[in-house]
Structures are given as structure tokens and as C-alpha cells.
Amino acid sequence: MDIQAVAKIAPSERQLKWNRMEMNAFVHFGVNTFMDSEWGSGKEDPGIFRPEKLDAAQWVRACKDAGIKGLILTCKHHDGFCLWPSAFTEHSVKNSPWKNGKGDVVKEVSDACRAEGLKFGVYLSPWDRNHPLYGDDCDAYNTYFLNQLRELLTNYGDIFCVWFDGACGEGASGRKQYYDWEAYYALIRELQPEAVISICGPDVRWCGNEAGKSRESEWSVVPVSCADICKIAERSQQADDAEFIKKFSYDDEDLGSREVIRNEPELMWYPCEVNTSIRPGWFYHEAHDNQVRSLDELIRIYYGSVGGNSCFLLNIPPNKEGLFHENDVQRLRELGQFIRKTFGKNVADGAQIAADNTKDGFAAEAMLQQNPDTYWCTDEGVETANIEIKLSAVSTFDRIVLQECIRQGQRIEKFKIAYFDSWEWKPLYAGTVVGYKKICCFDMVTTDRIKITIEESRWQPTLSFVGVYQEQR
């Protein structure tokens, strides 16, 4: 594929909306919470599920304090226990003592989200250790799974994301369930066309680790085969998949540079999500109350994910009472304060900006406005450019935010930033991809002149935003 064609691959509207949410919450809650475990066996007694003080509004408030825009709930984890009273199984809240079996966690959480303006998403584990037919009668299990999806996608309002986990610990000699992914996807598109299908799905790609690590150069355009890793991994014993697994792995540092995509027959817009937990486990364990990630760690992950052309999915597990622990609440508040304080004051407000090449109608001034759909770009055939910013006053700063207009695709491959120091330009930062958002971090400088040089791009580069900030810890 020629490189201009690659540069024209653009996100769907649903992917674009998801990307602009930047940071979402993952909430792992279920029988594991009460068993002090991470993976249930499927044999748990629903009688243990008793979150006496469950308060979804408390979760939602804490998420909002952090600046989180959406919340994804584990409606069913690998143990098969359903947090809603599914009509298709007895293994659910309806057989728990909580609210005398009349409760519905999915309803409480989705209502609380809607009341506070947070979007709601569902995690439904394909791997199910409770269902008797899982792996033995694949069609029957697929029907069961579709029935559950239908319940979740019709009874709880708008869903922004359906998150499909690739995990399956059955092992080589375990039950092999063939998932009817195409039928799952078709049902989601039919019932919730705005929802992204994440991880084992075509819209959002897993970053490849659960530790909060991100890539230096995270491309949103990658080989189509990257979307199949999950499905392949899940039946990885099959010999004919071995070649493919070798070719692309989640550990690869580079999934989208020119060299990597050169001989790829088909590429797709498949943006990255970094998912990690605020604690060592996905589920709540009292023993981890003092191991909530530090603010510094969360900031580092935020810079790497949101600031590295990815979204950040941060897990916060409620405790046995059905509440976020105070230590987690506190950390979320601190994270939100940090983001608001640091990125609330743009040193480039009131600045002057000019580029050495500008296409008619796409003036450089657009970069100083927060509108992601207005942008500067160069003339056709011009792939490099210099942009100079003259701040309204000499200022001290250590962060620069760059955003491409990704509605037009991802184009920038290499850039550098310099600042004017008394009588010469001095280097400040050198980077590769920009994409939806790049937060460039460097040591504090004081100046009133900044120069951004786009050194390589796939086609006329675009920038919809340039912001200049001083970090406020």
C-alpha cells in the first residue's frame, strides 16, 4: 500500500468519540471480591455476594474527580457469576442475599453513570467456568452468550464500549470453546451501533501488558492481522497459527512504522488502550489497601497512555461493602487535581503562531484553539514544516501537548521542538508519532519562543492543537 493511502486510513466515528474520552474506569467486582481471589472457579456459592453498602454513586463521583469519562463494569467475569439477574442462568445476583435477590448491580451502576454524565460500558467474559456447556456444546454456549449480550445491550441504556477479554486458562487439555465472534459483533452493531468493541474486537487494541507500560511510538494504523491476535491466542495450540503468532506479538515495540507495514497487504485504524489496576490485583483484596499506586506512578502512566496516543483504562475495585476504599478515592482525587492544575493553564493562550507552509483555509491559528476538528495543514506535496510560536510573555514551562487532527488520519512520523535561548535555538524534545495526543515532557525552560519542526510525515501533516504548560504537582 502506498504511504499516502496509509495516511488516509481514518477512525470511525465511534473510535473517534472513544479516543476523545481519554481516560476511563474499569471496575472489577463480583464473587472474587468476596473470595479474596482473582479468578473464580465457577463453583462459588451466590450466597457469598453481599455488598451491604453498595453505592454506585460513590464510585461515579470518585471517577469524576479523577477526570474519568466512562466506566466499564465486569458484568460477568470468568467465574460466570452475573451482576444482573440474567434470565438465562441461576448463577447471578438473583440468588444472592443482597437485596433479597432483587438487586441489579448493572442497573445501579449504569443509572449512577447516567445521572452524573459518565458513559457506561460492559465487560462480559467469553471464558465462563460456570456454564455447563462451555466447550462441550459450543453452539449452545454461543447462544447463551448472545442472550446475555442482548440483555446487557437492551436493558441498560446507551453503552459506549463492550470489552471482550482474551483470557482463557483452560490450558491445552481443557475444554475448547469456539467463540462465534462474528455473531457477537453483529449483535453489538445492531443493538448499540455507537459502542466500540475492545480487545477481542475490531475497534480498540490492547496495549499488550497489564502493568501500565506504553510504547514510545504508538501507531493507530496497524496491520489488520493485529486485530486477530486475541482470537489466535485463544486457540494457540493450533499449528497453523504458529507462524502468525511469531510475526506479531503483543510485546512488539513497533506495530506501525513504515518498515513494519511495508509488506502488509491490509491495514486498519486500531488505536491502543493501556489498561492497568490502581492496585496489584484486578479485584479488591484487603491486604492491598496500602499498595494503591502512588500519584507519581499514575502520572507516569497517564503521560505514557493519554500522552502517548492511547487511552488509559484504570481499574478501581470496590471492596466487600460495595464501596471504593478511601485510599483509592483519595488517589483518584489527587490525579484529577494534578491534571486540572497542570493542563488548566495554557501558557500559549494569547500567543502568536506562524508556519512556513500553510494550505489555504487551514491557518496556523487553529492550533491555538481547543477544537479538535479545526486544524492547520500544509499544501499537498509538502511533508515537512516549521511552526513558530511567540508567547505573549516570557514563560517557564516543561510540557508541550501536540494533537493531530486524527479524523484525517495519523501522518506525523518524526518531529522536534526547540526553544529560543537569548540568541540561539536550543533543542528541547525529539519525538516520532503524535496521533490523537502527544504530551512532550522535558526539563523546565524559560523563553517566549518555541519552534516545532515536522521532519517526516506520511502526507501533508496536520495539527489541531499545540498547548504549553508547566507541570503542577
Q: How far is the CB of 234 from ligand FUL (least distance, A)?
A: 11
Q: How far is the CB of 28 from ligand FUL (least distance, A)?
A: 6
Residues found near ligand FUL in the complex (CB under 6 A): 38, 165, 167, 275, 282
Q: How far is the CB of 38 from ligand FUL (least distance, A)?
A: 6
Q: How far is the CB of 392 from ligand FUL (least distance, A)?
A: 46
Q: How far is the CB of 279 from ligand FUL (least distance, A)?
A: 12
Q: Which is nearer to ligand FUL, 167 or 268 (CB)?
A: 167
Q: How far is the CB of 282 from ligand FUL (least distance, A)?
A: 4
Q: Which is nearer to ligand FUL, 269 or 282 (CB)?
A: 282
Q: Which is nearer to ligand FUL, 156 or 282 (CB)?
A: 282
Distance separating alpha carbons of residues 118 and 215, to the nearest angstrom: 28
Q: How far is the CB of 226 from ligand FUL (least distance, A)?
A: 17
Q: Which is nearer to ligand FUL, 165 or 413 (CB)?
A: 165
Instruction: Give yes or no for a contact between 258 and 252, defined as CB atoms under 8 angstroms apart.
Output: no
Q: Which is nearer to ligand FUL, 275 or 309 (CB)?
A: 275
Q: Which is nearer to ligand FUL, 145 or 282 (CB)?
A: 282
Q: Which is nearer to ligand FUL, 275 or 432 (CB)?
A: 275
Q: How far is the CB of 124 from ligand FUL (least distance, A)?
A: 11
Q: Which of 73, 85, 194, 80 is nearest to 127 (CA)?
A: 80
Q: How far is the CB of 251 from ligand FUL (least distance, A)?
A: 16
Cell of 380: 499537498
Q: Which is nearer to ligand FUL, 219 or 282 (CB)?
A: 282
Q: Which is nearer to ligand FUL, 38 or 289 (CB)?
A: 38
* Alpha-carbon distance values, 8 to 203, 220, 245, 266 (Å): 17, 12, 28, 13
Other Cβ atoms within 10 Å of 334 Cβ, number? 17
